[in-house]
């Protein structure tokens, strides 16, 4: 190991926020990373800046917002793990420009979300939320009106990715017809049918469920205009992101009866920790199932996510591998070999960088044993193995190359 530029594993500071599953801590400790701080809260503002100031690896879930400013403040940060699917809470471009790969767990909680959504629309179809609330207050309403079987109804899925397809498969096994809308051309599973526009989906669906990521296109996608195009008495489910739906428009649609019932798991503003008040105009509606962003919160999913993302962070820390990073060139690397040292160089993806890097090595008479390069969009990532210890003075020379974003000796 290089004496001055590499850190002992025990000195690599890892901070896990938002109650990431303990399996993450165990996985990291088993990999030799013992300096792990664990916290149940989501932080923002100055508190977040203070928390992450000296951290090398940061683990978050969906509520910690890593903006460009926050990332710039974390001077020692080399990697981020999102212990969830969504990565919209991280400025991925800023992270890449700062040489920070971001990892997630792209499908460890897929089934958990699909099962929650299925259970919710079945309950909505039978008016269970409103009747449950009524009975809790001492009322009684035994009547079939407004209650429906799922069989033969049409489920409209917006966003037919990992979760959308699972929701569709379960729905077909319950006897529903499945239609979906996606911006990409998708392989339909079972008898699901891709529709050409959102309007067609709104016209066809008895139940509308959202499974899109938060993007510029999906922000406010379900507004008053969208509700107006849906069938009268439609059931509506959102377990994607809170910003996809205009809550005031949903409230109006509930009041007018356009929407018969809804299930909402995600909100534009969510409490940072358990025990904090949940504030939303949706609280007044008995026919709305409100859940505290628990689509992914099953013991199975959280345990798997903890292991998966922790392994990705440990692998990147151990050998520089960025396989499955969501914002970064993906380089898969051989494990550490005796007598070989390794240098990581992240740079702007512009012509001539490799020539300049190789000139630096040539000027120091260093024999490069292997070079692994990948580029994506604006960023290039090259890992160099050298048969001998990498001389320390090489790093400042490589940092002088104008396109360099980050450079360090790994071991
Ligand atoms: N409630 C919860 O706890 C959870 C919520 N989620 C949310 O669910 C989202 C979807 O997750 P996955 O299915 O795993 O993602 P995915 O990436 O597999 O699928 C998303 C699909 O949406 C489509 N899409 C993107 N923009 C669209 C648009 N404007 N119109 C129509 N389709 C569009 C994509 O082409 C893709 O097929 C995540 O991004 C996350 O925000 C994910 C896990 C848990
Ligand atoms: O996986 C996702 O994208 C989720 O929304 C789940 O988020 P969470 O880990 O529950 O904060």
Question: Which three-class secondary structure string do you get for 46-57?
Answer: HHHHHHHCCCCE
Q: How many angstroms separate the CA atoms of 208 and 116, rounded?
A: 15
User: How high is the pLDDT of residue 5?
Assistant: 46
Span from the CA of 115 to the centroid of ligand 1 (angstroms): 15
Band (392; pLDDT cuts 50, 70, 90):
confident
Question: pTM to 2 decimals?
Answer: 0.94
| Residues 177-217 pLDDT 10s | 999 999 999 999 999 999 999 999 999 999 999 999 999 99
Please give the domain boundaries of the chain with CATH numbers for all domains: 1-108+298-328 (3.40.50.720), 110-290 (3.40.50.720), 339-410 (3.30.70.260)
Amino acid 3: pLDDT: 41
Ligand 2 center to 109 CA (angstroms): 8
Does the annotation mark 270 as catalytic? yes
Model confidence at 61: pLDDT above 90 = yes
Show Cβ contacts of residue 132 under 8 Å, excluding neighbours closer than 6 positions.
none
217 CB within 6 A, ligand 1: yes
What does the alpha-carbon distance between residue 303 and residue 97 come to, in Å, rounded to a whole number? 31
Residues 207/87/38/112 CA torsion (nearest 10 deg): 30
Pick from 112, 45, 48, 46: nearest CA to 80:
48
Q: Please tell me the predicted confidence (pLDDT) of residue 72.
A: 97
Is residue 387 annotated as part of the catalytic site, yes or no?
A: no
Q: Is 160 in the pocket of ligand 1 (CB under 6 A)?
A: yes
Specify whether the CB–CB gap between 262 and 289 falls below 8 A. yes
Structure tokens at 274: 């358990």
Record the tokens describing residue 257, joined without a space. Answer: 């009866």
Q: How far is the CA of 161 from the centre of ligand 1 (A)?
A: 6
pLDDT value of residue 384: 95
Residue 297 near ligand 2, beta carbon < 6 Å:
yes
Instruction: Give the Cα separation of 225 and 405 in Å (integer).
Output: 45
Specify burial of residue 5 (Cβ count, 10 A radius: 0-12, 13-18, 19+): middle
CB of residue 372 inside a 6 A radius of ligand 1: no
Please give the Cα distance from 189 to 21 (Å, whole number): 32
Task: Flag whether pLDDT at 129 surpasses 50.
Answer: yes
- CA separation for the pair 13, 370 (Å, rounded): 29
The answer to ipTM > 0.95 is yes
Q: Which ligand is closest to the CA of 162, given by its number?
A: 1
Cβ atoms of 60 and 89 closer than 8 Å:
yes
Q: Which of 241, 342, 347, 408 is catalytic?
A: 241
Segment 238-279, tens digit of pLDDT: 999 999 999 999 999 999 999 999 999 999 999 988 999 999
Burial 263-291 (b: 16+ CB within 10 A, else e): bbbbbeebeeeeeeeeebebeebebbbee
Identify the pLDDT of residue 6.
Answer: 66
Q: How many residues does the chain have?
A: 411
- Both structure tokens of 103: 């990892």
């Amino acid at each position: 190991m290089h004496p001055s530029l590499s850190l002992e594993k025990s000195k690599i500071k890892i901070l896990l926020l938002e109650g990431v599953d303990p399996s993450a801590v165990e996985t990291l400790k088993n990999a030799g990373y013992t300096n792990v701080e664990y916290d149940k809260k989501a932080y923002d503002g100055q508190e977040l800046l203070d928390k992450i100031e000296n951290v090398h690896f940061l683990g978050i879930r969906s509520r910690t917002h890593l903006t460009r400013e926050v990332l710039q403040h974390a001077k020692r940060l080399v990697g981020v793990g999102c212990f969830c699917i969504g990565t919209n809470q991280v400025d991925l471009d800023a992270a890449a420009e700062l040489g920070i790969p971001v990892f997630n767990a792209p499908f460890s909680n897929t089934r958990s979300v699909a099962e929650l959504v299925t259970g919710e629309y079945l309950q909505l179809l039978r008016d269970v939320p409103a009747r449950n609330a009524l009975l809790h207050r001492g009322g009684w309403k035994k009547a079939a009106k407004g209650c429906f079987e799922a069989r033969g109804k049409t489920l409209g899925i917006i966003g037919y990715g990992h979760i959308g397809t699972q929701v569709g498969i379960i729905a077909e096994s319950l006897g529903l017809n499945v239609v979906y809308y996606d911006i990409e051309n998708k392989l339909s599973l079972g008898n699901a049918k891709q529709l050409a526009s959102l309007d067609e989906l709104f016209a066809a669906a008895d139940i509308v469920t959202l499974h899109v990521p938060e993007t510029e296109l999906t922000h406010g996608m379900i507004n008053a205009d969208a509700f107006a195009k849906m069938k009268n008495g439609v059931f509506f489910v959102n377990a994607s992101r809170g910003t996809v739906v205009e809550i005031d428009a949903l409230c109006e649609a509930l009041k007018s009866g356009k929407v018969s019932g809804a299930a909402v798991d995600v909100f534009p503003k969510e409490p940072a920790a358990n025990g904090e008040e949940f504030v939303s105009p949706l609280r007044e509606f008995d026919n709305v199932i409100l859940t505290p962003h628990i689509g992914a919160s099953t013991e199975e999913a959280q345990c798997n996510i903890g292991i998966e993302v922790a392994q990705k962070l440990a692998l990147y820390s151990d050998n520089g591998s960025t396989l499955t990073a969501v914002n970064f060139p993906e380089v898969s690397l051989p494990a550490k070999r005796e007598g070989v040292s390794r240098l990581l160089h992240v740079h702007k993806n512009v012509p001539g960088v490799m020539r300049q890097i190789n000139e630096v090595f040539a000027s120091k008479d260093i024999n490069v044993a292997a070079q692994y390069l990948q580029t994506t969009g604006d960023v290039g990532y090259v890992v160099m193995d050298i048969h001998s210890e990498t001389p320390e003075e090489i790093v400042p020379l490589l940092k002088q190359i104008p396109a360099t974003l980050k450079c360090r000796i790994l071991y």
